[in-house]
Every structure is written in structure tokens, then in C-alpha cells.
Structure 1
Amino acid sequence: MTDELLVVRCQLGEREAFAELVGIWNDPVWTYVRRMIGSSQADDVAQEVWLAVVRGLPRLKEPGRFAPWLFTIARRTVANRLREEYGRHEVLAEEEQATADPADALVDRTELLAGLSELPVREREILVLFYLEDLSLEDCAEICAIPVGTVKSRLSRARRMLRDHLTEKGHRR
């Protein structure tokens, strides 16, 4: 079943359709949130995202554009949380550390995640959306409210920064 059909069914009040939508998109949303702010806050922020989805779903005019709409909400929710943290002048320990899964024993993956966590938020966000969430350049541009050219330049800069980090840690290109 397509996202578009599930969204329309949700807008008609079918609870089962919403449960299916959450089942499909909860992991990608949680992963995006975790990669942006760290795992200690991912559950709370992901819940905030789904609450915003429940509130906004009846007003979604283009059900076929659900994924970009969903990640736009996730992006805003993450940005709000980061603003709260920065407003209190607290630096999150998880922002400075690798966000590797404990089950992952591979050093390369840990280094990659550590490098990703050290990127500036704008570059990290584009890498996560494009490579890890597998969204198109156009969808990334829509979610971030920037031109496609800016997405391309941020991707290029982010790849270079990540490559430099990995090279610095002794990994070959």
C-alpha cells in the first residue's frame, strides 16, 4: 500500500492506516533524529514528531508528498530541540561523541559515525537525508527549504569534511 493511500485513509479517520504509516516510517524518523541529536533524546524527539504529524495530517494537501512533509516536521522538531539546548548554553555530550550503535563492533562504522557527529548540523543533516534516508536532492531541498544547488554544495562540503576526518584518523581514501 502506498503512503498516499495510507495518508488519505488517515485523513478519513482510519486508525489502522495511521498505525501502518507509523510502522513504515517510525524507524527512518527515529534514525534521522538520533543521527542529528544523539540517542539519549531520540525517543522523546521522535514522539514529538509523531504528535506533530497527528495534528497536521488532516491539513496535508498533497498526500503523495508525505515523506518530505514528514522529514520537514522532523527537521523542525530537531531544530527546536537544538535551540533549546543551545539556549541553555549546554553542550550535549552525545553531540561530541560517536553515535554508534552498541551492537556494532566495526571500527570503521564507529569512525564513520564519529566523523558524522563532528560535522556541522547543516552538512550532517544533508548527508543523513540524502544517503541514510535515501531522499532525492529535490526532497532534501524541500525539507531544508533551500535550493537544490545549495543541497549539492552542502553535500560536496560534507563529503569532503567527512573524508578529511577519516583520513586524519588513518583511514585510506
Structure 2
Amino acid sequence: MTDELLVVRAQLGERAALAELLARWRVPVWTYVRRMLDAERADDVTQEIWLAVVRGLPRLREPGWFAPWLFTIARRSVTDRLRGEYAWAKETPLVDDVVAEDPAEAMVDRAALVSFLADLPVLEREILVLFYLEDLPVEECADICRIPTGTVKSRLNRARRLLREHLEEKGYRP
């Protein structure tokens, strides 16, 4: 069954369709958010996203645009969280922050990539995650980020360059 059909059925009040839609997109959404935030914040933000999806689904006019709509909500939620934390950080003096490591992630070869991504500016990291890790086309990335496709392409180019430079600094050679 397609996402579009599941959306229409969920909009008509069919709970099983909504449950299947949420189950189908749970991992991709959490993965996207996790790549933008740490694990603890990712769980909280992901819950906020699904609450917004359930509330907003009846108003989705184009059921075929579910994935870009969903990632737009995810992007907005991540941005809101980061914006709120940056504002709070400016107002509050820093006390020794201790970053807890995620033991499961430490065992994965991709842990280095995740840390390199975390060092990139948010806008470039977001485009890399959407394009390469979520496999979204440039046009959908542009819709989600509400920027022209040319801007997506330039951010991708800049992000690749920054990531390459960062990897070379750490001793990785292409």
C-alpha cells in the first residue's frame, strides 16, 4: 500500500492506516533527527514531530507529498529545538557540561562520520543528511528547507568540501 493511500485512509479516520504510516516512517524520521541532535534530544523531538503529524494530517491537502511534508515538520522541530537551546545558552552561563557517549553508536563504524557531521555547520549538515542519508532528491530537499534548488546544490558542494577538509585534517585521505 502506498503512503498516499495510507494518508487518505488515515484522514478518513482509519486508525490502522495511521498506525502503519507511523510504523513505516518511524525509523527514517528518528534517524534524520538523530543525525541532527544527540540521542536524548532526538527522542524528545521525534515525539514532538509525531504529535504534530497526527494533529496536522487531516489538513494535509496533497497526500502524495507526505514525505516532504513529514521532513518539513521534522526540520522545523529540530530547528526550533536548536534555536531554543542557543537562546538559552546565551542567557545562561556554562557549567561543566559532560557529554554522555552512546555505547551502541561507539561500536558502529559510522560513529566517526556522525562526529564529523556534527562538526559541520547546521545548514550544511542538514542538506547532507537529507540528500545522502535520507536519499531525498534535490527538489525535495529544497521544498523541505524552503530554499531554491540552486541553494541546495551550493550547500551540498560546500558541505562536501568542508567534510573532505575535516576528514583530511583527521588523517583520512581520499
The aligned residue for residue 152 of structure 2 is 151
Question: Does the 8 Å CA contact 2:39/2:102 hold for their aligned counterparts?
Answer: no
- Measured in 1, the distance between the counterparts of 2:145 and 2:88 equals 25
- Measured in 2, the distance between the counterparts of 1:162 and 1:32 equals 18
What are the equivalent positions in structure 2 for 1:52-91 lying under 5 Å apart? Answer: 52-89=52-89
The aligned residue for residue 105 of structure 2 is 101
The aligned residue for residue 124 of structure 1 is 125
1:114-150 residue CA offsets vs partner (Å, 9 max, x unmatched): 1101000000000000001110100000000000000
Superposition deviation, residue 102 in structure 1: 3.2
The aligned residue for residue 23 of structure 1 is 23
- Measured in 2, the distance between the counterparts of 1:164 and 1:98 equals 26
Following TM superposition, the consecutive aligned residue runs of length 4 or more in structure 1 with deviations greater than 6 angstroms are 90-93, 97-100
- Measured in 1, the distance between the counterparts of 2:114 and 2:23 equals 25
Question: Does the 8 Å CA contact 1:71/1:143 hold for their aligned counterparts?
Answer: yes
Superposition deviation, residue 110 in structure 1: 2.6
Q: How many residues align?
A: 168
Superposition deviation, residue 53 in structure 1: 0.3
Question: Does the 8 Å CA contact 1:100/1:114 hold for their aligned counterparts?
Answer: no
Change (3 A) 1:103 1:19: farther
Q: Does 1:142 align with 2:146?
A: no
Question: Does the 8 Å CA contact 1:100/1:113 hold for their aligned counterparts?
Answer: no
- Measured in 2, the distance between the counterparts of 1:12 and 1:125 equals 33
Question: Does the 8 Å CA contact 1:38/1:99 hold for their aligned counterparts?
Answer: no
- Measured in 2, the distance between the counterparts of 1:81 and 1:101 equals 22
- Measured in 2, the distance between the counterparts of 1:171 and 1:9 equals 49
TM-score, structure 1 length as denominator?
A: 0.91
TM-score, structure 2 length as denominator?
A: 0.91
- Structure 2 regions of 5+ residues with no counterpart? none
Name the SS of the counterpart of 1:61 in structure 2.
coil
Change (3 A) 1:123 1:98: farther
- Measured in 1, the distance between the counterparts of 2:103 and 2:145 equals 23
Aligned amino acid, residue 131 of structure 2: F
Q: Does 1:33 align with 2:33?
A: yes
Name the SS of the counterpart of 1:88 in structure 2.
helix
Q: Over aligned residues, Cα RMSD in angstroms?
A: 1.9
- Measured in 2, the distance between the counterparts of 1:59 and 1:124 equals 30
